[in-house]
Structure 1
Amino acid sequence: MQSQDVASRTAAPAPDPVVDVEQAEAALVEHYPRLVRIAYLVLPPGLGRGRRVMAAHAIVQRALPRGRTRTPVIPAQASGRDGDPGYAFVRLRVLRAALEAGGKRRGLPKRAQLPPLLPHVWGLKLFPRSGGAEELALERELSKLTGPARAAYVLRGLERLPDGDVRDVLAEAGAADPAAALRAAERVPARYELLTSPEFDACALQARPTDLMRRRQHTRAALAAAAALAVCGALVALPGDGWGPDGAAAPVYAQNPAAEAALDPGRLVRVAPSTWKSAARTDFSMWPARGDLVGDEGLLRRALAVWARPGENVRVSSTPGTQTGGPAGPPQLLYAGTVDAARVVILYDGLRIARYAEPKDGTAGAALDFARVDGATGAEAAAIVLGRTDGNVRYLTAPWVSKAAERDLMKPASGAMDLAISAGITAPMASPATRSGACTSWNVLQLTDDTGTHVLSDLGELVPARLTVGSPAKEKDLSGSRALHDWAPYACSLGAVRSLGVRSVNAWSFAEQSLPDGSGSAEWVCTRAETWRGAGARALAQFRTPGGRYGAVAAKSDGGPACGPRDPHALAGVLWKSKGGNWYLLAAGSRDTTSVRATGGITGSAEGNVLTVRAKEGAQAQLEGTLEDGRRISGLR
């Protein structure tokens, strides 16, 4: 009986630890910078960096309990904080307040949703030091998450808590669905080391003065009369009402000095028309501002506001791998004008092209499109799509372009048709980007400048893709009769890489193979589409028999280096039926392939870079090739 009582007492759960003010205060003081960092990361990014700093400090400083309190056994912390219920308790209160600050207001606002009375700094703006491109990208990804999802990401990355413990902490902090928050956090790249960056350190701050002229105006207004106070109140409401209507943009909920500067149309970067003539490079930063509406501040204001905070009815699109957040600083104005039935603004921030378009008669149906263009130069920075209407496309060309023409890539012998350019804008030309049905033509843009002729294709994105020809180590622009004839049978394959964020497409013949029935030689060509983000390239191995108008796609590779500069090799095979009704496996590798072998449903091998083996209809085989340096390669699939 006695032993049974002992067992029952042993199995009973231990009481929750008690945390008093002194213990909580000790944990808060010891880990204050970490707690402030947690609050700063979880608070809504829409507050702006300066306001988030003050709110984070206020939340942590209000996290102390009023007296002794009992706290549940919740997951704690990494090394240095293990087993410290004081830290776990204070962190829980910080998380709860930060989540409340970002929650929807129902009735009277909660304390965390009100601007903090303390701490407060007069005459200075405080904000963390700026990080690099990786920190900026992570900040934008986190800004897309809900408060609980941001908290889950921080607890996993900064606190190193396992998922089960994260769910417990979120539930204690008042999150409605901790499991959903964890799933959302998992979609953000796990760049946890960036959470310790100075970008998110709300204790290591930079100080800048507030608007000195405005402060002087406010002082005079306060001394003058109550009527002048209303004027000061209107000034404080900037940028929303002070800058005028923002059209299709979402409402402004908080002020951020850096964001205000980036969205001020008066601070847009404008390049002089002749700057490019003496520049050391030819890229988008050398484009002058053009268009009949470059002086329309209302239009420019709306475009910038929609870029920063697109409203619910704005159609936003972007090429894969392109961030859609607002500009980090004042962008460069490339164009503002009327295009067909729309007003269009094109902006450039050094990494992206953003195009804002609205109808002539209002802002309903406004659209915002993004394209990544980092590192673009020469032909890659020679044209931007202004608009597409009724199957046609109109381009804005670089100031160094001297001539434009339209040609059908599938009809190289038909020549090019001159395309008029007025103020840098081309006449409309047929676009293959939105066409459906059989592929019978593929119209491309041909541009001429002092470096030569370049051919670009509209693939449904803001920036047309550059077309090149030649082996990966010797790519060159598509120009000249021979190169155009080589490209013609493979023009329709460009349809397979539409809207993938394509930077350039190269076509190169990697083998010729005699057909076993004596009907001539077949050509093997690899077309490889490179993307602006580096990853996600697509390579197509195509096979064309003598007299064939089109190349048949025999194999493809997504995301790998095959057929590109890093791996300038190819190996592919196809089942082919001769005129006599016999089936063969035809396989070919690039010219540095010394042997080819087939296994599986078809077996055979041959020295050299081509293989011909009798086969049965529907048979499948695995291909393997050996290169001159002894390395083995597999066939594209």
Structure 2
Amino acid sequence: MSTSQRRSTSGSGRVALDQAEAVIVDQYTRLVRLAYLTLPHTLSRHRRVLVAHALVQRALPGFRIGRASPRVPPQRRRTPDPAVACMRARVLRSALAHDRRPRGWPGFLPPPRALRPMLPVVWGLRLFPRAGSGEEVALGQVLSEIPASARAAFVLLQLEGLPRPEVVDLLTAAGVPRPKEALRTACDVEAAAGPATQALLRSREFDACSVQTRPTDLLRRRRRHQLAWFTAGIVALCCAVLLTTVGGAPSDRPSPSPAAVAALAVGPEQLLRTPRDAWADTSRVDFTAWPARGPRTDDEALITRALVAWNDPPRGTRISVGKATTDEPPPKDTQLLYAGDVGREAVVLFHDGRRVVRYGEPVSSPGDASLDISRSDESDVTTAAALVVSREAGKVRYLTAPWIAEAQTRDLLTPNSPGRPLDVSDEGVTDPVAEPPGAGSCASRPVLQLRSSSRIVEKHAFLVTDLGDLTPVHLSYTPLPGTGAPPRQPREATSGTALRSWAHIACRLPELSRSGVRSVNQWDFAEQKLPEQGGRAVWSCTRASTWRGPGSVLVQFRASTASATGPARVVGRARSTAACSRFGQHVVAGTPWTAGSGRHYFLAAGSREVEEIDVTGDVDVTERGRTLAVKARKSPEATVRARLADGERLDEVGSRSPR
């Protein structure tokens, strides 16, 4: 390192140019990390990397970085290198000033300093530090919630190892108005973070000099290139034509009023943004692990309009709120999931821990915006696997979770047909798929078959289907009881047996549309041999569980002689019940049945713990076992009860008899 003293440090606190250059070259990585951690977290990681490098490279004396050049902090207790101290102060002053807005400057616009072009500039690539573990992500989240001056003090204490008096001096030299208050906040964070903080700050999560690259949206970039040539031709003809040609661009939509923006509890710069690879290094695989994706995640104007529409929808906004879901304004811990153009709409997706919210506005033509809100609390690998991002002309596009490695479509009414591959973009948006038909039409029942990445669950395939809400419904299957213990548990409905069972109930799924359903399980709880060589029958209980907890059940009976995909006969139903769930594992039901000879019977069956079935009414009989078949008159009125292995009595599903 050069140590020339041709121009010695003066008492005024200034350093020689060659000394400053030597400090920057020798301490470049540490200074860049200091700037990166101090810069506002409202910037994307790509912008923070570039700005951090730019601030350090502009820290040489002679660049104007503020109203006055910072003075070297006076020496205390030890003898710090004045050149190093001066460079730290200059970098800190620049980083702290980057997010400073003049008085009266609109809050939804970037500060004027952030608008200045600064080298380095990167075209066609996105740079960001390599993702760390969950501890680094958590520390980054904590730092994003404290003021920039406190972040700077925290980094100086932990990363640089400076004593507290020297930290106060550096903050003062950098122009911090209340350095001791910033130091107190940093000490509080230091105490809460624990002894491993220093190692975390030196990790690759915060190393802006060791970055990885990804391309920008190539298709969008090509479209912009073509649009630039087209616009240039229009400008050559007439400037007025140019204005009308780009009049449909998203930026030409009227901006929200300053009062509407001021009313927001959270702005675009305060939204939570999960790192790209966080889903592969966490035990909580749900919507909180989704990164912010889409080509317009940095479009503050679009995201501001979406937040304003959620907070106080303008007149004309089409609003849809799911069952048992609130329409409360966005809270401070709101997370950005997606922002981009899908079809003819600009779409923004949010998650606030309890709900997912979709905002859409026309891209190329005037029109009203839309706002959809659905419940999503306690989601998991399957229920957070996809979101509806677009509905247009009978087609649906989904945004798949980052852990989805493969997507297919299949029809529940053709259980023996293989799934068809579904293309998914790099951002996770699927090609359009057919929207499931509503009630009254059952020519097909399209579903998605998704497979999660081997990085979390190896070869884990599952089915989801659209029932009108933003979150597709997870479909599962519980097979017939086995001969041993314990009882069978719900599993994915992807096997041949599961698909054949689902084919008999698929046409009843539209009855559950827009009812806040989270998952539907098809449980084949009993098999019975029919009288007069009538073949065999399977008894099933289909449970639709809602996000709020209670569910509804349908009990069906289907004979082996029926159509392979014909709807099963519903013999019982109940609402707001725990039946056919892990908290209601026992079920018994009965139904009249007519044999091929024309004789009438009454049949009953129970789940694996049933030891005796008792029928009263027009049919009066008690029989040990899990199934019952007796002759009866046509359409008898009968009540079915069962005795379980532990002696408890069990009523049939939907029965009104006292329990």
After TM superposition, the score normalised by the length of structure 1 is 0.58
Contact 1:315 1:367 in 2 (8 A): yes
Q: Is the 8 A contact 1:245 1:302 kept in 2?
A: no
RMSD: 2.5
- The answer to whether the Cα contact below 8 Å between 1:459 and 1:498 also exists between their aligned partners in 2 is yes
Alpha-carbon separation, structure 2, partners of 1:388 and 1:254: 28
- Percent of residue pairs bearing the same amino acid type: 39
Deviation at 1:473, TM superposition (A): 6.0
Please point out which of 632, 640, 655 is paired with 1:615.
632
Partner of 1:463: 471
In the alignment, which residue of structure 1 is the partner of 2:389?
Answer: 386
Is the contact between residue 497 and residue 538 of structure 1 (CA under 8 Å) also seen in structure 2?
no
Larger mean CA deviation between 592-601 and 468-477 belongs to 468-477
Contact 2:439 2:511 in 1 (8 A): no
Q: Which residue of 1 aligns with 2:151?
A: none
Measure how far apart 1:618 and its partner are.
Answer: 3.3
**1:218-267: per-residue Cα shift (whole Å, max 9, x none)?**
xxxxxxxxxxxxxxxxxxxxxxxxxx999698x887997xx5341x1121
Tell me the alpha carbon deviations over residues 384-426 of structure 1, each in whole angstroms, 9 at most, x when there is no partner: 0111222221110011111100011221211000000112011
Residue 235 (structure 2) aligns with:
none
1:168-317 matched pairs, under 5 angstroms = 260-262=264-266, 264-317=267-320
Which one of 548, 551, 556 corresponds to residue 542 of structure 1? 556
AA partner of residue 557 (structure 2)? F
Amino acid at match of 2:413: M
1:482 aligns with 2:486: no
After superposition, residues 404-415 of structure 1 pair within 5 angstroms as 404-415=407-418
Aligned residue among 610, 615, 627 for 1:598: 615
Counterpart pick for 1:494 among 509, 531, 545: 509
Partner of 1:167: none
Deviation, structure 1 residue 490: 2.1
In the alignment, the residues of structure 2 paired with residue 636 and residue 454 of structure 1 have an alpha-carbon distance, to the nearest angstrom, of 28
The CA distance in 2 between the partners of 1:547 and 1:506, in whole Å, is 24
What is the identity, as a one-letter code, of the residue corresponding to 1:511?
A
Secondary structure of the structure 1 residue equivalent to 2:577: coil
CA displacement at 1:318 relative to structure 2: 1.9
| In 2: Cα distance, 1:500 partner to 1:565 partner | 21
Given candidates 370, 377, 387, the residue that maps to 2:380 is 377
Pairing of 1:553-564 with structure 2 (within 5 A): 553-564=570-581
1:430 aligns with one of 427, 434, 437: 434
Q: How far did 1:520 drift?
A: 0.5
Matching residue of 2:189: none
> Aligned partners of 2:258 and 2:619: how far apart in 1?
66
- Give the structure 1 partner of residue 651 of structure 2: 634
The match for 2:462 among 445, 450, 454 is 454
- Distance in 1 of aligned mates of 2:304 and 2:446: 36
- Partners of 1:572 and 1:587 within 8 A in 2: yes
Out of 535, 539, 559, the position equivalent to 1:520 is 535
Matches within 5 A, 1:49-60: none
Shift of 1:604: 2.3
Note the C-alpha offset of 1:444.
0.7
Give the alignment of 1:67-78 within 5 angstroms.
Answer: none
Check the 8 A contact 2:389/2:398 in 1, yes or no.
yes
Cα separation, 2, equivalents of 1:248 and 1:591:
63
CA distance in 1, matches of 2:528, 2:298: 61
Stretches of structure 1 lacking an aligned partner (at least 5 in a row): 1-207, 210-215, 217-243
Question: CA 1:547 to 1:442, structure 2 compared with 1: closer, same or farther past 3 Å?
Answer: farther
8 Å CA contact 1:246–1:301 kept in 2: the answer is: no
Q: Deviations over 1:510-539 (max 9, x none)?
A: 11112122110110011111111112x011
In structure 1, how many angstroms separate the alpha carbons of the residues matched to 2:444 and 2:252? 45
Asked whether the equivalents of residues 248 and 363 of structure 1 are also in contact (C-alpha less than 8 Å), the reply is: no
Number of aligned positions between the proteins: 391
Q: Structure 2 CA distance, aligned partners of 1:440 and 1:523?
A: 24
SS in 2 for 1:379: coil
Cα deviation, residue 634, structure 1: 0.9
TM-score by length of 2: 0.56
C-alpha change, 1:305 and 1:616, in structure 2 (3 Å) is same
Q: Provide, for residues 49-74 of structure 1, a one-character-per-residue CA deviation record: whole Å limited to 9, x for no partner.
A: xxxxxxxxxxxxxxxxxxxxxxxxxx
Whole-angstrom distance in 2 between the partners of 1:602 and 1:466: 40
1:601 CA drift (Å): 3.2
Classify 1:538/1:246 alpha carbon distance in 2 versus 1 (closer, same or farther; 3 Å).
farther
Contact 1:248 1:306 in 2 (8 A): no
Distance, in Å, in 1 between the alignment partners of 2:600 and 2:314 is 59
Q: Please, which runs of 5 or more residues in structure 2 have no aligned partner?
A: 1-145, 148-176, 178-250, 480-486, 655-659
